Structure 1
């Protein structure tokens, strides 16, 4: 029977999956796994110095930044954010459009102010142009330029949008964490890059995470080339194809470089190996980033009935079953602060109480405090939801849990 390593070597060589980095650590650091497979570029093998487009894996760092502000007493989890984020004062809900080809937007005033917790749990009412067609239609009706997340456009242009529902009553993946990044920066009269450098990266000895590749030469030098399953172009916001062919090298731009802004919801690029240091700090409750009671709040279910139903509907779409990081149909799920929260053990290997989230080019981090194990699967391929990558991520995680359990039994 082939080993885990042999399977990944064969799969990356055959271009079933792109070059991939697999990482794991126990809370005490005695159990470690770090391995790179396959190519980083058409001419360069992947190694553990590689950097990748992290996309929505950025959200964990932005969440930590906001929680640090809460711990300092700068704002409370259930405080309104409009005193700092004045753009979110007196929010309006977009309920539809008047009749006709050039219909005008119809709004109603929200009755509930947006809080920090709403933003951190995606219950603010804000969505995203790439997922909710109402926004491109709204921008056209308003005469606004379209959303442009990969070009030199203002971050505030992209994220200053009306709500889709009353805050706290539903769930929608969108620009909420971009606003959280703005919140942390404004509260401290700095940039999000500088805040994370001082309060997250430097305390952990992290050198190669950033929003700006031009600030850190090793990030740019070691950046893997993007790959695509659906063809070399136009795949970033496409849908994964279950019967798609081999991965191909792609020149599609995920992030503009240099970039003018720092998107807390998905703008970071850097080293998966160093990102693991952040995960380990949370797993170990080492006090370097957050207090133990704050970390405890991250792992508590946050969604009431209405938002929970919307969240379960979001991940329960039949044609995405088996896609990368999507829970098996019927799995009980919740949402914590920082990521999705598994509410039961699952056949894919995830354990109840595990907090995790993913990034657009098919990366995923998981933190299981009960077992004392954190894992990261990092392989840059678009579009998100890659089925083949999903299969290999499950293979990796199951094997790592088995090795960790053996490690514990042997008393090493």
Structure 2
């Protein structure tokens, strides 16, 4: 193995050279089954609005800086569900309403009538654990369907339960956008899934994660709890510069598996390394090898779901699909993330498990090539081109080194 670390280091330095127009910060880490093989980072955790005051008032990024994970939280929610599956407390094809009764009364949104009122239809199909885990139950996020904010307004709820004043009510009152099992729609399925986890385990989600995922792996800095040292969020503006803000306060009373965790990239990589090694790291096991195998199998069940995910994954999920302008040949959904990699120019292995958070916290686990990695940088919008440009260099040089 001969990874050209100098080229990756230079790419990070170039990406963060002007943190007001380039990336404000970035970290990239990779590991094989046996050891970490690359770590590089640069830029600033906190930046003053005036560039002239950067050296005086800025706080440099560190390896253990705390990021907002957003949807990178979903991997932990999926692992939690799979732990319960191992214990025989649920199965993927269980009707999830036996654990969360609100699923029995969820409606299907059909549109608005002439007076602008909601048209809701009863749902007579069971919603399964697998559908919640694969975003095929019919729930959708507001940023992927422009009708949802109006639906939420009519129902007197927020569009998601994650924010400061959010509640379980915001989740359970939101209707389906399609019948269970028909489509892939990225949404709140993992939030419902972790309600199942809480019900079966009789533990709040924070406590469940800490006891069953983080503590066994020696992770002490990933949590739903507010962290005063958390880095800023950078928002793209029309003039090509960033606007830096304190991350918005998240729900402190109720936690959901779809978003809300905060933590460091090295700690998150420990979760990925455990999956790469079949569920074990440094003598601690969080999943059995056969359960990890399930995560890397396709769990979409019809061609419509595959077509939906192909469109979703191609647009923003990673640089190589965006560049190709079409789905990768093996692009589908497993458990915990999407699967893709066949034919990628970098040399990535087929059926690599990969996902991200909204603020560009990308990760992947490649069992074929024996490597996992993160590329994080807490900027918005999702899929920012500068992030993808850095990721492409990092991944390409990483796989060159693995092949050497």
TM-score normalised per structure 1: 0.86
In structure 1, stretches of 5+ residues that fail to align are: 214-218, 232-243, 407-412
1:168 matched to 2:181? The reply is yes
TM-score normalised per structure 2: 0.88
1:11 matched to 2:18? The reply is no
Deviations 1:71-126 (A, max 9, x none): 111111110110111111143211112112xx222223323201110000000111
Q: Which residue of 2 aligns with 1:210?
A: 223
Deviations 1:236-291 (A, max 9, x none): xxxxxxxx724x241154343x7222121011001111010000000011441111
- In 2, distance between residues paired with 1:259 and 1:144? 18
Equivalent residue for 2:252, pick from 215, 234, 259 = 259
Q: Secondary structure at the match of 1:57?
A: helix
Are 1:283 and 1:369, in contact at CA under 8 Å, matched by a contact in 2?
A: yes
1:285 matched to 2:278? The reply is yes
Deviation at 1:147, TM superposition (A): 4.8
1:399 matched to 2:393? The reply is no
1:91 matched to 2:106? The reply is yes
Q: Which residue of 2 aligns with 1:21?
A: 27
Larger deviation, residues 161-170 vs 133-142: 133-142
Q: Which residue of 2 aligns with 1:183?
A: 196
- In 2, distance between residues paired with 1:143 and 1:7? 47
Distance of aligned partners of 1:175 and 1:327 in 2 relative to their CA distance in 1, 3 Å threshold: farther
Larger deviation, residues 190-199 vs 281-290: 281-290
1:358 matched to 2:356? The reply is yes
Equivalent residue for 1:200, pick from 199, 210, 213 = 213
Deviation at 1:368, TM superposition (A): 0.3
- In 2, distance between residues paired with 1:125 and 1:321? 20
- In 2, distance between residues paired with 1:367 and 1:176? 22
Distance of aligned partners of 1:297 and 1:401 in 2 relative to their CA distance in 1, 3 Å threshold: same
Distance of aligned partners of 1:326 and 1:150 in 2 relative to their CA distance in 1, 3 Å threshold: farther
Distance of aligned partners of 1:283 and 1:145 in 2 relative to their CA distance in 1, 3 Å threshold: closer
Distance of aligned partners of 1:326 and 1:282 in 2 relative to their CA distance in 1, 3 Å threshold: farther
Deviations 1:102-155 (A, max 9, x none): x22222332320111000000011112232122222223334456564332214
Q: Which residue of 2 aligns with 1:236?
A: none
- In 1, distance between residues paired with 2:279 and 2:312? 34
Q: Which residue of 1 aligns with 2:371?
A: 373
Larger deviation, residues 381-390 vs 5-14: 5-14
Q: Secondary structure at the match of 2:140?
A: coil
Deviation at 1:23, TM superposition (A): 0.6
Q: CA RMSD in A?
A: 2.3
Distance of aligned partners of 1:113 and 1:326 in 2 relative to their CA distance in 1, 3 Å threshold: farther
Deviation at 1:35, TM superposition (A): 1.9
Deviations 1:385-407 (A, max 9, x none): 1011111111111111112222x
Deviation at 1:37, TM superposition (A): 1.2
Aligned length: 381
- In 2, distance between residues paired with 1:230 and 1:117? 39
1:245 matched to 2:240? The reply is yes
- In 2, distance between residues paired with 1:394 and 1:349? 11
Distance of aligned partners of 1:392 and 1:366 in 2 relative to their CA distance in 1, 3 Å threshold: same
Equivalent residue for 1:272, pick from 265, 272, 275 = 265
Are 1:361 and 1:380, in contact at CA under 8 Å, matched by a contact in 2?
A: yes
Q: Which residue of 1 aligns with 2:43?
A: 38
Larger deviation, residues 182-191 vs 34-43: 34-43
Equivalent residue for 2:312, pick from 303, 311, 314 = 314
Q: Which residue of 1 aligns with 2:163?
A: 150
Q: Secondary structure at the match of 1:162?
A: coil
- In 1, distance between residues paired with 2:244 and 2:202? 38
- In 1, distance between residues paired with 2:358 and 2:370? 26
- In 1, distance between residues paired with 2:332 and 2:159? 33
Equivalent residue for 2:88, pick from 73, 92, 96 = 73
Q: Which residue of 2 aligns with 1:328?
A: 324
Q: Which residue of 2 aligns with 1:228?
A: 235
